[in-house]
């Protein structure tokens, strides 16, 4: 199992996913739909085999028509050849229609699986990983990777595959018709392909990769600024953010323009080479002694062949560039798919068996990747089943980290965390977290209805259960006043609700979860004093019969708990009930309580002066 203290680093240009890895990634999805993949391969091969016959039949039609007009042949031969050519076109069209329709079904199936797998993988990455990656950039990598697959698969199967088959087929047909013609065609096509691929990979692709990175940066900058729009507004910083984004978008403009111009340069070289190919083929037919082939039939054959392959040849360089760009865009998704979850279930890990809620930290060591010193060194804590425990201390002292290790949002570097005698690292994460209700200091809601958000903790809950939980959290009062009631959409991250309303919804969600262990991270910090008292009563009822871990910043909320742990730099420096700790002269907890009491008294006096 990987050490979660070390977050994954973004791949540098030298570490990017290889072509082999990308193709293996795509092949893995094709193997999941074997019958459609086989049908696609058969249809493409049949279409190529039939299309190779078109120039030969076209040349025969011209020859027999000329013979008929000169009286050297009966008209029946010309009509039969014409009918053969029309039938050939019709069959080629029908075959392409069939395998392209099959391809659409296959492509949509693979793309759906691909984006769903990417989402499923990212959902299981650790908090450390998510804190080091922009949500907007991650979303863009997944969706862009899905469409990059579409481009790459279309390029390989619809364009490059048939093109390669046709070029090989025409080279063989020309060799049989006239060896010199076949040799010239084969060599010219080989030089064209080699030059096109070299231009695409060495000249165009590097510029495309820089353009992709700039595109990702634009997406990340947009998501960052839009997500923090309330902060921007609070400081009147719209012009500053405009300028910041303008600089990012200008970088994208410059590097994208360079990539597009390089694509045009490569296209110009390819056009010149195609002109030279046609000139050489016609010269071999028209200016050589007519000893190996009829000049008229040969000229028609060459022109018909050129017209068939011109589009494929002209587009091969473009398709190679498309494929390379798609590979560059896919490598982020491939990297996501091959990145091991930083906190992962052990193979065959059993489900957590909920019990009365006893918790034990045994000699736990833990540190974050961005901190040189471990936060916890040999931490030992035992919480009895049903005990109400408060964690207090300065910010960064380890209170929230304690709760995160309890939920196994991170793995410990040493020691064990036991819940009801079960090592949290040995059971499935989902089953463990279902046994722990969490009410965070800053609740995050889905952009879904209020009913969906409250019922998220218990998918099988009916409306009556949801309403009852809301009543107990004193959320029903404001929900009932809304036009759509429980069907009201709360906006992204719950932005349509006030802080207190979001917190009451989060408390209702925890009430509905009915888990044996409850973690409260200053669950009443955003509430007014009247509502806070009501919810304190609700929380007291909720905590009854459960193990409760209360992370407290406002110490007035923890006076009734069974025990208080005072943290300082990852160490427990004081322990006891409120009454016991307040009897310690010069104690840290007593100093914190007195400081907050003084602050509250000062605010009250200022309020009275303002009122006077």
Residues 493, 567: one domain? yes
Q: Which residues of the chain fall short of a pLDDT of 70?
A: 1-17, 66-73, 126-128, 130-134, 136-137, 287-299, 314, 317, 321, 523-532, 534-535, 538, 597-612
**594, part of any domain:** no
The CA distance from 259 to 320, in Å, is: 14
Instruction: For residue 162, give the CATH number of its domain.
Output: 1.20.1560.10
State residue 445's pLDDT score. Answer: 86
E strands present in 259-387: 359-366, 376-383
**595, part of any domain:** no
Residues 178, 221: one domain? yes
State residue 603's pLDDT score. Answer: 43
**597, part of any domain:** no
| 323 touches 155 (CB < 8 A) | yes
Residues 424, 316: one domain? no
The CA distance from 566 to 550, in Å, is: 12
State how many domains the chain has.
2
Instruction: For residue 560, give the CATH number of its domain.
Output: 3.40.50.300
**30, part of any domain:** yes
Q: Closest Cα to residue 31, out of 87, 84, 86, 109? A: 109
Residues 301, 363: one domain? no
Residues 134, 226: one domain? yes
**290, part of any domain:** yes
State residue 611's pLDDT score. Answer: 44
Residues 512, 446: one domain? yes
β-pairing, 547-551 with 563-568?
A: unpaired
CA atoms within 13 A on the CB side of 470: 25
Q: Closest Cα to residue 409, out of 387, 425, 420? A: 425
State residue 389's pLDDT score. Answer: 92
Burial of 601 (0-12, 13-18, 19+ CB in 10 A): exposed
Residues 30, 118: one domain? yes
Residues 165, 70: one domain? yes
State residue 527's pLDDT score. Answer: 61
State residue 523's pLDDT score. Answer: 66
Residues 262, 404: one domain? no
| 203 touches 259 (CB < 8 A) | no
Longest dimension (CA), the chain: 125
Residues 327, 412: one domain? no
Domain housing 472: 359-585
**605, part of any domain:** no
Residues 473, 535: one domain? yes
Residue 555 gets which letter from DSSP? G
Tokens for 166? 């046709």
Residues 560, 446: one domain? yes
Q: What is the pLDDT of residues 58-76, one digit of tens each?
A: 777 777 776 666 666 677 7
């Amino acid at each position: 199992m990987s050490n979660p203290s070390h977050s994954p680093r973004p791949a540098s240009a030298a570490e990017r996913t290889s072509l082999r890895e990308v193709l293996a990634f795509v092949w893995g999805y094709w193997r999941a739909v074997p019958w459609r993949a086989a049908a696609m391969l058969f249809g493409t091969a049949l279409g190529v085999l039939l299309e190779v016959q078109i120039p030969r039949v076209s040349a025969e039609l011209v020859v027999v028509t000329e013979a008929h007009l000169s009286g050297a042949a009966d008209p029946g031969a010309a009509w039969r050849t014409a009918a053969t050519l029309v039938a050939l076109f019709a069959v080629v069209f029908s075959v392409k229609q069939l395998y392209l329709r099959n391809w659409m079904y296959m492509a949509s199936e693979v793309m759906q699986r691909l984006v769903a797998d990417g989402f499923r993988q990212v959902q299981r990455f650790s908090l450390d990983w998510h804190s080091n990656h922009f949500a907007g950039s991650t979303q863009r990598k997944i969706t862009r990777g899905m469409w990059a697959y579409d481009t790459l698969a279309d390029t390989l199967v619809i364009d490059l595959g048939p093109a390669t088959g046709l070029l090989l087929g025409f080279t063989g047909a020309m060799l049989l018709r006239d060896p010199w013609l076949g040799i010239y065609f084969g060599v010219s096509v080989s030089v064209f392909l080699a030059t096109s691929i070299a231009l695409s990979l060495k000249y165009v692709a590097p510029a495309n990769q820089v353009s992709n990175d700039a595109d990702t940066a634009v997406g990340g900058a947009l998501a960052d600024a839009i997500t923090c729009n309330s902060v921007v507004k609070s400081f009147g910083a719209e012009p500053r953010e405009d300028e910041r984004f303008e600089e990012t978008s200008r970088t994208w403009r410059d590097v994208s323009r360079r990539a597009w111009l390089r694509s045009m340069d490569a296209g110009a070289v390819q056009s010149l080479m195609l002109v030279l190919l046609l000139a050489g083929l016609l010269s071999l037919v028209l200016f050589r002694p007519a000893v190996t082939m009829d000049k008229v039939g040969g000229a028609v054959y060459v022109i018909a062949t050129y017209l068939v392959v011109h589009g494929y040849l002209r587009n091969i360089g473009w398709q190679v560039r498309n494929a390379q760009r798609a590979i560059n865009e896919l490598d982020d998704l491939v990297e996501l798919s091959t990145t091991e979850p930083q906190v992962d279930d052990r193979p065959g890990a059993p489900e957590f068996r909920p019990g009365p809620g006893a918790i034990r930290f045994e000699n736990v060591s833990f540190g974050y990747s961005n901190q040189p010193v471990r936060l916890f060194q040999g931490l030992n804590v035992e919480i009895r089943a049903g005990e109400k425990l408060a964690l207090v201390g300065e910010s960064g002292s380890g209170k929230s980290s304690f709760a995160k290790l309890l939920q196994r949002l991170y793995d410990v570097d040493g020691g064990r965390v036991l819940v009801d005698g079960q090592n949290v690292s040995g059971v499935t994460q989902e089953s463990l977290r279902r046994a722990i209700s969490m009410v965070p200091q800053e609740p995050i809601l889905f952009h879904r209805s209020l009913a969906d958000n409250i019922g998220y903790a218990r998918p099988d809950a009916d409306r009556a259960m949801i309403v009852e939980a809301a009543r107990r959290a004193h959320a029903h009062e404001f929900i009932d006043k809304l036009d759509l009631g429980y069907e009201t959409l709360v906006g992204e991250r719950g932005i349509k609700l006030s802080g207190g309303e979001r917190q009451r919804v989060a408390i209702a969600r925890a009430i509905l979860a009915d888990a044996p262990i409850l973690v409260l991270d200053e669950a009443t910090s955003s509430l007014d004093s009247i509502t806070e008292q009501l919810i304190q009563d609700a929380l007291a009822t909720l905590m009854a019969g459960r193990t409760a871990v209360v992370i407290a910043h406002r110490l007035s909320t923890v006076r009734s708990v069974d025990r208080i742990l005072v943290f300082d730099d990852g160490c427990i420096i004081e322990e006891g009930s409120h009454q016991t700790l307040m009897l310690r002269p010069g104690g840290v907890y007593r100093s914190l309580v007195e400081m907050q009491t003084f602050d509250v008294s000062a605010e009250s006096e200022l309020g009275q002066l303002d009122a006077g």
